Structure 1
Amino acid sequence: MTRSIEPNRPHHPGRSLGVASIDPVPLFRDGLSALVHRTQGLHWAGHAASHHSALQLAEQVRPDVALIDSGLDPQCHLTKLLAAGDPALLIIVLVRQSNRTAHYLTAAIGAGAHAAIPREAEARRLAEAIRRAYTDRRYIDPALSALIARPKRQSPDGANPKAQMPLSRREYQVLQLVAEGLENSAIAKILYLSVETVRTHVKSILRKLSARDRTHAVTTAFRSGILVTQPDDAVGVPRETQFTKAVGTADTPTV
Structure 2
Amino acid sequence: MTSAPVRVVLADDQPLLRHSLAMIINAEPDLAVVGEAHDGLEATTVASDTTPDVVLMDVRMPRLDGIEATRRICRMPKLAHTRVLVLSMFDLDEYVFHALRAGASGFLLKDSKPTDLLAAIRRTHNGEPLFAPSILTRLVAHYTARGPTAVEPSPPDQLTTREVEMLGLIGQGLSNDEIAHQLTISIKTVKTHVSHLLRKLDARDRTHLVIAAYDAGLVSARPHPSHISGRNRLDER
Give the TM bin, normalised by the shorter chain: 0.5 to 0.7
Q: 1:34 aligns with which of 16, 23, 30?
A: 23
Cα RMSD, aligned residues only: 2.9
Offset, 1:45 = 0.5
**Structure 1 20/34 Cα, relative in aligned 2: closer, same or farther at 3 Å?**
same
Superposition pairs for residues 92-103 of structure 1, below 5 Å?
Answer: 92-97=85-90, 100-101=91-92, 103=94
Which amino acid in 1 is paired with 2:37?
A
Q: Distance between the aligned counterparts of 1:102 and 1:81, measured in 2?
A: 21
Offset, 1:101 = 2.3
Offset, 1:50 = 1.4
Superposition pairs for residues 137-156 of structure 1, below 5 Å?
Answer: 137-140=128-131, 145=136, 146-148=138-140, 150=171, 151-152=207-208
Offset, 1:152 = 3.9
Checking the alignment, whether the CA contact within 8 Å between 1:91 and 1:113 is kept in structure 2 is yes
Offset, 1:136 = 2.5
Checking the alignment, whether the CA contact within 8 Å between 2:54 and 2:124 is kept in structure 1 is no
Which amino acid in 1 is paired with 2:75?
A
Q: Distance between the aligned counterparts of 2:21 and 2:30, measured in 1?
A: 15
**Structure 1 90/135 Cα, relative in aligned 2: closer, same or farther at 3 Å?**
same
Q: Distance between the aligned counterparts of 1:92 and 1:74, measured in 2?
A: 14
* Structure 2 residue 92 is matched with structure 1 residue 107: no
Q: Following TM superposition, where does structure 1 have runs of at least 4 consecutive aligned residues deviating by more than 6 angstroms?
A: none
User: Structure 2: 5+ residue runs without aligned partners?
Assistant: 142-170, 172-206, 216-237
Superposition pairs for residues 75-90 of structure 1, below 5 Å?
Answer: 76-85=67-76, 86-90=79-83
Q: Distance between the aligned counterparts of 1:152 and 1:102, measured in 2?
A: 17
Q: Number of residue pairs matched?
A: 143
Q: Distance between the aligned counterparts of 2:66 and 2:27, measured in 1?
A: 32
Checking the alignment, whether the CA contact within 8 Å between 1:96 and 1:118 is kept in structure 2 is yes
Q: Distance between the aligned counterparts of 1:111 and 1:61, measured in 2?
A: 21
- State TM-score, norm by structure 1: 0.49
What secondary structure, in the 3-state scheme, does the structure 1 residue paired with 2:139 have?
coil
**Structure 1 26/103 Cα, relative in aligned 2: closer, same or farther at 3 Å?**
closer
Offset, 1:106 = 2.9
**Structure 1 142/30 Cα, relative in aligned 2: closer, same or farther at 3 Å?**
farther
Offset, 1:76 = 1.4
Percent same amino acid at aligned positions?
A: 22
Superposition pairs for residues 145-184 of structure 1, below 5 Å?
Answer: 145=136, 146-148=138-140, 150=171, 151-152=207-208
Checking the alignment, whether the CA contact within 8 Å between 1:117 and 1:144 is kept in structure 2 is no
Q: Distance between the aligned counterparts of 1:83 and 1:115, measured in 2?
A: 13
Q: 2:52 aligns with which of 36, 53, 63?
A: 63
Q: 2:84 aligns with which of 75, 91, 108?
A: 91
Which amino acid in 2 is paired with 1:30?
H
Q: Distance between the aligned counterparts of 2:5 and 2:112, measured in 1?
A: 23
Q: Distance between the aligned counterparts of 1:51 and 1:75, measured in 2?
A: 5
Q: Distance between the aligned counterparts of 2:71 and 2:89, measured in 1?
A: 19
Offset, 1:116 = 0.8
Offset, 1:140 = 3.7
What secondary structure, in the 3-state scheme, does the structure 1 residue paired with 2:126 have?
helix
Checking the alignment, whether the CA contact within 8 Å between 2:40 and 2:68 is kept in structure 1 is no
TM-superposition CA deviations, 1:189-232 (whole Å, max 9, x none): xxxxxxxxxxxxxxxxxxxxxxxxxxxxxxxxxxxxxxxxxxxx
- State TM-score, norm by structure 2: 0.53
Superposition pairs for residues 120-131 of structure 1, below 5 Å?
Answer: 120-131=111-122
Checking the alignment, whether the CA contact within 8 Å between 1:58 and 1:82 is kept in structure 2 is yes
Which amino acid in 2 is paired with 1:89?
T
**Structure 1 134/91 Cα, relative in aligned 2: closer, same or farther at 3 Å?**
same
